Structure 1
Amino acid sequence: LDFSALAPSPDGKRIFFVARQERREFVRYDARRGQFMPYLSGITGRFMDYSRDAQWAAYTSVPDSILWRIRPDGSERMQLTSAPLRVFWPRWSPDGTRIAFDGIRPGEPIRVCVIAVKQSGAGVPDCVTSDAAGQGHPSWSPDGKSLLFMRESQGKIPGRSGLYIMDWNTRKTEYVEGSRGLRQPSWSPDGRYIAATNATGTQILLFDFHTRQWTELVTGSSLSTLRWSHDGEYLFYEDDSGDDQPVLRVRIANRRVEQVASFQQILQSNVTDYDFCALAPLDIPVATVGHDNADVYALDLDLP
């Protein structure tokens, strides 16, 4: 709880204050109704990803940032990690046997971690990067043999910021040329492209493995959360600027951009913020919304 707006009563015998608590929940876009609807009722979360076969989802709970596995209908929920490890940006491997994620332990920088997942449970998280600079936003290659991630630029720590590809078997990494300062990478389902934002979030750039060149895909004000459609024809993303915070998609073949959904299509009360976080099966946008619940309390004082 966050406390604010303290004020004494006129007689000095009571103090009034506001207690505020944020609650986050998932919503899923209903194209027929043209609005986001509640999803996974009773579950609070922030980040989410679906397995390629659409049988499972992985999400992080709030406020503890613990990783969970769940069926898309909300059944068979299972905890996969525990404190003090905090988890962000989970991404399923193509075969559904591993989940890569940003992992943070107290006093340490962000690491790329991977956890093995079986029907009966999960293994021990393995943090596969160990650089003094933060590394995160993992994305699997379509064959699951490589892991793409970003390396942050941090002061005097040596090494180039940008994108790296790790061979999963040897753990050797290769720098993606021309990626200095790029963030939030996402590998296309056919393996041909990498999409990433520039450092300021005003561009989405596309790397073509055939030409080994980067090109500008779209521009905006605050672009984030890059998610490929399941057929690889579109890249979905959010523009965080403005009141609408639209979820957009760009067709790779012709660079045509269209709006899919926006913040204005959430009809719930007390919503303070909204973030696009995943594509459900059939390329349905899933978002997480924050609710600001506040109540006024009075505390009786018994002062000498």
Structure 2
Amino acid sequence: RISFYSDRSGKYEAWTINRDGSGLRQMTFANGVDVIYPFWSPDGARLAYNPRTESCSIIEVGKPWDEQTPRRVPAPPAARLDGFSAFSWSPDGRKLGGWINSPTENAGIILYTFETSNFERLTNFGSKPIWLHDNRRLLFNHAGKLFLVNSETKKVQEISLHSPHYLYEYGLTGDKRILYYTLATTEADIWLLNLE
């Protein structure tokens, strides 16, 4: 199944659909807040999502919404009133990769460990991290460029794409072998008009 967010219900909620386009299902019915960036646990049994201006929450896929008690990931101490925006689950299921959801603070890439409820900062810039299959490295976006960070060494390297284009969105296939992305370009023409 594919998870995504859409405002087809009147506000943004998490949805799932089969790859063939059948089985459309609204997964969240959050009161008064938009839901964005849903993503699967490695075993497919849980779905994490991000209510805007709040920390990430997790639900069980097999239960209807009225039987759910979403598990809220706490906000990191540095986040103050802003939440933790998670974007991907580690392949071993032990950690979430994300960033602090703040318009005033760029906290960089942060990991949350379920077992200890601890946060660890990997970088001081970037957002939207995606774990690679090795359970160690994460791709992330910053200022229209793609980067790779090693969660053990915290070493960062830029991944070269098609400059001077701007990386807009990106993702990995389910087996984490293929990177797909969209690039934004800005083009302009100068025209001269003769008024005679």
TM-score (norm 2): 0.78
Structure 2: give runs of 5+ residues left out of the alignment: 77-81
2:18 counterpart SS class? strand
Distance 1:272 1:177 in 2: 36
Distance 2:8 2:14 in 1: 12
The amino acid across from 1:177 in the alignment is P
Distance 2:192 2:142 in 1: 41
Rg: which structure is higher? 1
Correspondence 1:196 to 2:98? yes
Distance 2:178 2:22 in 1: 30
Partner residue, 1:130: 29
Structure 1 residue 283: deviation in Å? 5.0
Contact 1:276 1:285 in 2 (8 A): no
Partner residue, 1:143: 43
Distance 1:140 1:260 in 2: 26
List per-residue Cα deviations over 1:72-118 (Å, max 9, x = no partner).
xxxxxxxxxxxxxxxxxxxxxxxxxx100011238x2211111123x
For residue 89 of structure 2, the aligned residue among 173, 180, 187 is 187
| Larger strand share, 1 or 2 | 1
Structure 1 residue 228: deviation in Å? 0.7
For residue 233 of structure 1, the aligned residue among 130, 136, 155 is 136
Contact 1:184 1:224 in 2 (8 A): no
Structure 1: give runs of 5+ residues left out of the alignment: 1-97, 154-160, 300-304
197-206 vs 287-296, which moves further: 287-296
Distance 1:150 1:168 in 2: 15
For residue 118 of structure 2, the aligned residue among 213, 225, 229 is 213
State percent identity of aligned pairs. 23
Q: Judging changes above 3 Å, is the alpha-carbon distance between structure 1 residues 297 and 203 closer, same or farther for their aligned structure 2 residues?
A: closer
Partner residue, 1:167: 60
Aligned alpha-carbon RMSD (Å): 2.9
Q: Judging changes above 3 Å, is the alpha-carbon distance between structure 1 residues 260 and 175 closer, same or farther for their aligned structure 2 residues?
A: same
Count of aligned residue pairs for this structure pair: 181
Q: Judging changes above 3 Å, is the alpha-carbon distance between structure 1 residues 290 and 185 closer, same or farther for their aligned structure 2 residues?
A: closer
TM-score (norm 1): 0.52
Q: Judging changes above 3 Å, is the alpha-carbon distance between structure 1 residues 148 and 209 closer, same or farther for their aligned structure 2 residues?
A: same
Structure 1 residue 291: deviation in Å? 3.3
Structure 1 residue 285: deviation in Å? 4.4
Contact 1:178 1:214 in 2 (8 A): no
Partner residue, 1:152: 52
Distance 2:74 2:58 in 1: 11
1:109 counterpart SS class? coil
Partner residue, 2:146: 247
Distance 2:117 2:4 in 1: 27
2:92 counterpart SS class? coil
Contact 1:189 1:230 in 2 (8 A): yes
Partner residue, 2:79: none
